[in-house]
Structure 1
Amino acid sequence: MSNKNNTLQKRPQRITIRDVAKLAGVSPATVSKVLNDAPHVSQESRQRVMSAVAKLDFRPNSIARSLKSRRTLTIGLITDDLEGVFTTSMMRGVEDVTSSRGFSVFLCNSYGNADKERAHLQLLLDKQVDGVILLSGYKVRERGAPALDLGSIPVVYLYQYTRDINVPCIVPDDFGGAEIGTNHLISLGRKRIGLINGPYHYEATHHRLEGYKSAIENAGISYDPSLVRSGKWYEDAGYMMAKDLMSMDNPPDALFCCSDSLAAGAIRALCELDIRVPDDIPVVGFDNRPFAAHHVPPLTTVALPLYEMGRMAGEMIVSAILGPTPEPGIHKVPCYLVRRESCGVLKASYNSVRDETGSYS
């Protein structure tokens, strides 16, 4: 019994606003104003308060503050694919923004199941989150409203969109990305650019095809549908489609592949055919997957702006909570080109081109 009493006696007492006020030589009301960044407090008082806060290692009572502000400074993030290859980068962008603004994020995985999403949303409502982000880690797609009515709680859609409710939706500009990749090959003097694309039930497939067509037509090159192939996103599909294209009587002089996996398969096929990359055929991929930088040769690719999209989602949900309310509708985030050796030396520069460090040239 005595050991228990000794343990209790050793527990440090919680530092209060009154302790901070006493050390700073100001009133508790002044401390509260400084902590809440209120106006009409002198710079000298602010410095004294913040110095006292640091010395005492004071941490405001989050429960009391949430009762006063009617906010919990928490956000729910529900993804349908927690282990998706794109999910982590977007979540990191969300976390970097929201944590810098004092918010914590509750992460949930619905596995694309509406019942699971509904259960997670109910749990988040019970925790009185200030906002919700719905993230698709699988593919850009149109979907309906949240599986549970959230009332006045703000919602942001990430890597997906909806027309059922009027909320901000953040997606990549796949059309513009395909234009960038195709323009890069055109800048190398190529005129018969083969397109190796994904399956047609993906919206990205259609947007990237249209971006490719736009780039070549704007360059005065006639669109030739015989140079276009479509299949699964996998490396083996890229291998087969590249071999098919190169067997033509008048084969392409460059390849734009709409995923890095397709590009890896295409390069393998070209190597088997003793076609040199980039000397004979330059190749551009899409996504900027981690392996692209270490491929042989290192792969020039159009990068999906995943981290940037996550940051935008974080900024919009915080803005929706604290104001001003963000613009609803679809927000497209530009893609950018990462230059590596699969295209050799770039002969022209674009404002949307970056090197491997992410710097614009």
Structure 2
Amino acid sequence: MATIRQISKHAKVSIATVSRVINNSKWVAEATREKVLDAINELGYRSNKTPGSIDSFRSNIVGLVVSDLSGPFFGDMMHSIEDILRQEGRQMMVTNGHGDLSREREAIHFLLKHHCDALILHLDAMSDEEIIGFVQAQKTPVVLINRYIPALAKNCIAMDNEQGGYLAAKSLLDRGHRKLVCLTGPLFKPDARLRFQGFRRAIEEYGLRFSEDRIVEADFNESSGAKAISRILKRNLPFTGVVCGNDLMAIGAIRRLQEYQLKVPDDVSVVGYDDVMLAGYFQPSLATVRVPISRMAQQAAKLAISLSQHQKCDINRIFKPDLVLRQSVKEQAFEVAEPGRVLLTG
């Protein structure tokens, strides 16, 4: 068990300086603080509340890795996490993984180097196996947000994205649409894959099939949605409904459809995903699947705090999606399919 005296000797600073670092005093130079924190990390300690031990040390910082620092989805996430942490007297340190494996690893290493009390991770590129190995080998508590890994169920705050994709497609199918196209997010991302799987499940329930020509993999932004629907239009496929991977893609697709003199929803109905604030103000207002990201983020922050204090907490870990119908969807007269007839292919 390391004592303050041992830490001060190892870091070559005074006992008073170690004490100030442990108490998170602002009156310590950053370089000196790093020396003390590195000494604490190197010497290690075991659970013991003996006076002079450093088991009670807290940086009072929770690290957050996101996939993007822009956009309403991650903006709401960061705001809600920071709000809960502030209420509990903690700070948030944010870094961007960019949805890239090497950058996600770098982001996590950066936060660990700064001795965060816990980590909240939104990871796209890192595999389940690597995440499991990391969490099991790591002393720092880890919370995964918007991702569910069965082996780490107690560490996950997730959305049922497969059900969300199902609801999006079913909202069009239930209203008579049979010629659908799907603009997915990047399929290496777990949430995009699950939403697409839900889309597939919905159309299979209706006994329908579709061709690969009716799927375009894009990115989770507005310009990508516009480019994706342009690719569909160039294929000269008849369609009356578009299911999009998120709201920004849907907004981009609608604007591009309007450039082609196609009216939404009179000619084409469009469904998004996330229910960002803009969805309700856009014209036409966007039908979408609501992701309660603010509540998910709040729960992630509470779980991170509880894990860092080795306390139990009543946490809602799995959130269910809700369909929000708005002006971008309308009823479509449809032809009843005969057995084996394909209505989704061109």
Asked if TM exceeds 0.5, the reply is: yes
Deviation at 1:160, TM superposition (A): 4.4
Question: Is residue 162 of structure 2 the alignment partner of residue 171 of structure 1?
Answer: no
Q: Distance in 2 between matches of 1:99 and 1:291?
A: 27
Deviation at 1:297, TM superposition (A): 1.9
For the 8 Å contact 2:147–2:159, the answer to whether it is kept is: no
- Normalised to the residue count of structure 1, the TM-score between the two structures is 0.61
Question: Is residue 215 of structure 2 the alignment partner of residue 229 of structure 1?
Answer: yes
Deviation at 1:211, TM superposition (A): 0.3
Q: Distance in 1 between matches of 2:174 and 2:126?
A: 29
RMSD over aligned Cα atoms? 3.8
Which residues of 2 match residues 120-135 of structure 1 at below 5 A?
A: 120-124=111-115, 129=117, 132-135=118-121
Aligned to 2:179: 192
Q: Distance in 1 between matches of 2:283 and 2:329?
A: 12
Consecutive unaligned residues in structure 2, runs of 5 or more: 1-52, 98-102, 333-346
Consecutive unaligned residues in structure 1, runs of 5 or more: 1-66, 347-361
Decide which of 181, 185, 192 is 1:205's aligned counterpart: 192
SS of residue in 2 equivalent to 1:214: helix
For the 8 Å contact 1:74–1:105, the answer to whether it is kept is: yes
Q: Distance in 2 between matches of 1:190 and 1:117?
A: 45
For the 8 Å contact 2:104–2:123, the answer to whether it is kept is: no
Residues matched between the structures, number: 270
1:255 to 1:322, Cα distance in 2 relative to 1, 3 A = same
Q: Distance in 2 between matches of 1:340 and 1:228?
A: 24
Deviation at 1:178, TM superposition (A): 0.7
Which residues of 2 match residues 59-138 of structure 1 at below 5 A?
A: 70=56, 72=58, 74-81=60-67, 83-85=69-71, 86-100=73-87, 102-109=88-95, 111=97, 112=103, 114-115=105-106, 117-124=108-115, 129=117, 132-136=118-122
> What whole-Å deviation, never above 9, does each CA across 1:120-155 have from its counterpart, x for those lacking one?
324326xxx3xx12322767964535599643x432
Question: Is residue 323 of structure 2 the alignment partner of residue 337 of structure 1?
Answer: yes
Q: Distance in 2 between matches of 1:158 and 1:146?
A: 16
Deviation at 1:157, TM superposition (A): 1.9
Aligned to 1:276: 263
Question: Is residue 225 of structure 2 the alignment partner of residue 238 of structure 1?
Answer: yes
1:294 to 1:274, Cα distance in 2 relative to 1, 3 A = same
Question: Is residue 315 of structure 2 the alignment partner of residue 324 of structure 1?
Answer: no
- Normalised to the residue count of structure 2, the TM-score between the two structures is 0.64
SS of residue in 2 equivalent to 1:297: coil
Counterpart of 1:264, as a letter, is: I
Q: Distance in 1 between matches of 2:110 and 2:256?
A: 47
For the 8 Å contact 2:135–2:142, the answer to whether it is kept is: no
Q: Distance in 2 between matches of 1:236 and 1:182?
A: 22
Counterpart of 2:312, as a letter, is: P
Counterpart of 1:176, as a letter, is: Q
1:90 to 1:243, Cα distance in 2 relative to 1, 3 A = closer
SS of residue in 2 equivalent to 1:324: coil
Aligned to 1:298: 285
1:135 to 1:89, Cα distance in 2 relative to 1, 3 A = farther
